[in-house]
Structure 1
Amino acid sequence: MTKTLKLISPVNGEVYVERPAVPLDEARDTAARARAAQTAWAARPLEERIALVQAGVARLGAMTEEIVPELAWMMGRPVRYGGEFGGVKERADYMAGIAADALAPLVIEDSGTFRRVLKREPHGVVFVIAPWNYPYMTAINTIAPALIAGNTVVLKHATQTLLVGERMARAFIEAGVPADVIQAVVLDHATTEALLAQRAFDFVNFTGSVAGGQTIERAAAGTFAALGLELGGKDPGYVMEDADLDAAVATLMDAAMFNSGQCCCGIERIYVVESLYDAFLEKSIAEVSKLTLGNPLDPDTTLGPMASARFAQVVRDQIAEAVAAGATPRIDPALFPADDGGAYLAPQILTEVTHAMRVMREESFGPVVGIMTVKNDDDALALMNDSPYGLTASLWTADAARAEALGARIQTGTVFLNRADYLDPALCWTGCKDTGRGGALSVIGFQNLTRPKSYHLKKKA
Structure 2
Amino acid sequence: MSLASDRAAETDRAAFFIDGRWATPSSTRTHIAIEAATGEVLGSARLGAESDIDAAVAAARTALDQGPWGKTTAVERAAAMTRFADALEARATEISTLVSRENGMPIGLSNAFNGVAPAALLRMYADWITDFPLEETRASALGSTIVRREPVGVVAAITPWNYPQILAMTKIAPALAAGCTVVLKPAPETALDSYILADAALEAGLPAGVLNIVLADREVGSYLVSHPGVDKVAFTGSTAAGRSIGAECGRLIRRVTLELGGKSASIVLDDADLDTFVQGLDSASLMNNSQTCTTQSRILAPRSRYDEVVDAVASYASAMTVGNPLDPTVTCGPMASESQLARVKHFIDVGVASGARLVTGGGSPRGADRGWFVEPTVFADVKNSDELAREEVFGPVLAVIPYDGDDDAVKIANDSNYGLAGSVWTADESRGLDIARRVRTGTIGINYYNLDLGAPFGGMKDSGIGRELGPEALSNYLEYKSIFASSAMIDE
Q: TM-score, normalised by structure 1?
A: 0.93
CA deviations 1:81-105 (Å, max 9, x no partner) are: 4422232234333323322344432
SS in structure 1 at match of 2:335: coil
Q: Tell which deviates more after alignment, 194-203 or 46-55.
A: 194-203
Name which of structure 1's ranges 147-156 and 255-264 shifts more when overlaid on structure 2: 255-264
> Match for residue 65 of structure 1?
93
**Residue type of the alignment partner of 2:382:** V
Instruction: Kindly provide the CA deviation profile for residues 72-128 of structure 1, in whole angstroms up to 9, marking residues without a partner as x.
Output: 2211113344422232234333323322344432332299x7232212110111111
Matched, 1:89 2:119: yes
C-alpha distance after superposition, 1:320-343 (max 9, x if no partner): 221222211222568931455972
Q: Distance in 2 between matches of 1:457 and 1:374?
A: 61
Provide the C-alpha distance between the structure 2 equivalents of 1:418 and 1:102, rounded to a whole number of angstroms: 34
Residues 321, 108 of structure 1: alpha-carbon distance in 2 compared, 3 angstrom cutoff: same
Distance 2:343 2:370 in 1: 12
Which amino acid in structure 1 is aligned with residue 465 of structure 2?
R
Distance (whole Å) between structure 2 residues aligned to residue 460 and residue 68 of structure 1: 57
Corresponding letter in the other structure for 1:33: A
**Where does residue 455 of structure 1 map in the other structure?**
483
The separation in 1 between residues aligned to 2:106 and 2:404, in whole angstroms, is: 38
SS in 2 for 1:414: coil
In 2 relative to 1, CA 163–149 (structure 1 residues): closer, same or farther, beyond 3 Å?
same
2:195 to 158, 166, 170: 166
> How far has the Cα of 1:460 moved from its partner?
5.5
**2:330 alignment partner in structure 1:** 301
2:137 to 107, 112, 116: 107
Residue 462 of structure 2 is aligned to residue 446 of structure 1 = no
How large is the RMSD of aligned CA atoms in angstroms? Answer: 2.3
Whether 1:322 aligns to 2:347 is: no
CA contact (8 A) 1:76 1:307 kept: yes
3-state SS in 1 of match to 2:286: helix
Q: Assess, with a 3 A threshold, how the Cα gap between structure 1 residues 110 and 170 changes in structure 2: closer, same or farther.
A: farther
Count of paired positions: 459
- Distance in 2, matches of 1:382 and 1:340, equals 43
Partner of 1:125: 154
Partner amino acid for 1:234?
K
Say if 1:90 and 1:425, in contact at 8 Å, map to a contact too. Answer: no
Alignment equivalent of 2:230, drawn from 196, 201, 209? 201
Q: Which stretch of the first structure deviates more once superposed, 244-253 or 200-209?
A: 244-253
Evaluate the alpha carbon distance shift between residue 439 and residue 313 of structure 1 in structure 2; reply closer, same or farther with a 3 A threshold: same
Seen in structure 2, the aligned counterparts of structure 1 residues 2 and 124 have a Cα distance that, compared at 3 Å, is same
Whole-Å separation in 2 of the counterparts to 1:186 and 1:337: 36
Instruction: Specify the SS of the correspondent of 2:419.
Output: coil
Task: Compare 29-38 and 181-190 and name the one that shifted more.
Answer: 181-190
Aligned-residue offset at 1:199: 2.2
1:152 pairs with one of 171, 181, 198: 181
Secondary structure, in 3 states, of the residue corresponding to 1:408?
helix
Change (3 A) 1:194 1:100: same
Q: Which moved more, 1:226-235 or 1:13-22?
A: 13-22
Retained in 2: the 8 A contact 1:194–1:219? Answer: no
SS state of the match for residue 323, structure 1? Answer: helix
Alpha-carbon distance between aligned partners in 2 of 1:279 and 1:226, rounded to the nearest angstrom = 48
Q: What secondary structure, in the 3-state scheme, does the structure 1 residue paired with 2:275 have?
A: helix
Q: 1:333 to 1:324 in 2, by over 3 A?
A: closer
- For residues 429-444 of structure 1, the aligned pairs below 5 Å read 429-444=457-472
Q: Does 1:402 align with 2:435?
A: no
Q: CA deviation at 1:448?
A: 1.1
The Cα of 1:61 is off from its aligned counterpart by 1.6
- SS of the residue corresponding to residue 5 of structure 1 reads strand
CA gap 1:125/1:334 in 2 versus in 1, 3 angstroms: closer
Q: 1:171 to 1:330 in 2, by over 3 A?
A: same
Matched, 1:34 2:85: no
Kept in 2, the 8 Å contact 1:92–1:140? The answer is yes
Q: Residue 345 of structure 1 aligns with which residue?
A: 374
CA distance in 1, matches of 2:243, 2:454: 29
1:105/1:117 contact within 8 Å kept: yes
Query: Is contact 2:297–2:397 with CA below 8 Å preserved after alignment?
Result: yes
Residue equivalent to 1:54: 82
Q: Is the 8 A contact 2:357 2:380 kept in 1?
A: yes
Are positions 1:14 and 2:43 aligned together? no
Deviations 1:42-85 (A, max 9, x none): 32121121121122122112112222221122111133444222
Report if aligned partners of 2:85, 2:120 keep a CA contact under 8 Å in 1.
no
Task: State the Cα distance separating 1:6 from its structure 2 match.
Answer: 2.6
Alpha-carbon distance in 1 for matches of 2:57, 2:363? 52
Corresponding residue SS for 1:180: coil
Structure 2: which amino acid aligns with 1:21? L
Structure 1 stretch displaced more, 267-276 or 30-39? 267-276
Deviation sequence 1:226-267 (CA, Å, 0-9, x none): 111111001110011222321111112443222111011111
Q: 2:320, 2:434 → 1: CA distance?
A: 36
Which structure 2 segments of 5+ residues have no match? Answer: 1-26
What is the alpha-carbon distance in structure 2 between the residues aligned to residue 107 and residue 209 of structure 1? Answer: 42
Corresponding residue SS for 1:222: helix
Residue 77 of structure 1 is matched in structure 2 by 105
1:140 aligns with 2:166: no
Which amino acid in structure 1 is aligned with residue 36 of structure 2? Answer: P
Structure 1: stretches of 5+ with no match in the other structure:
none
Structure 2 Cα separation of the partners of residues 229 and 61 of structure 1: 28
Mean CA deviation greater in 256-265 or 280-289: 280-289
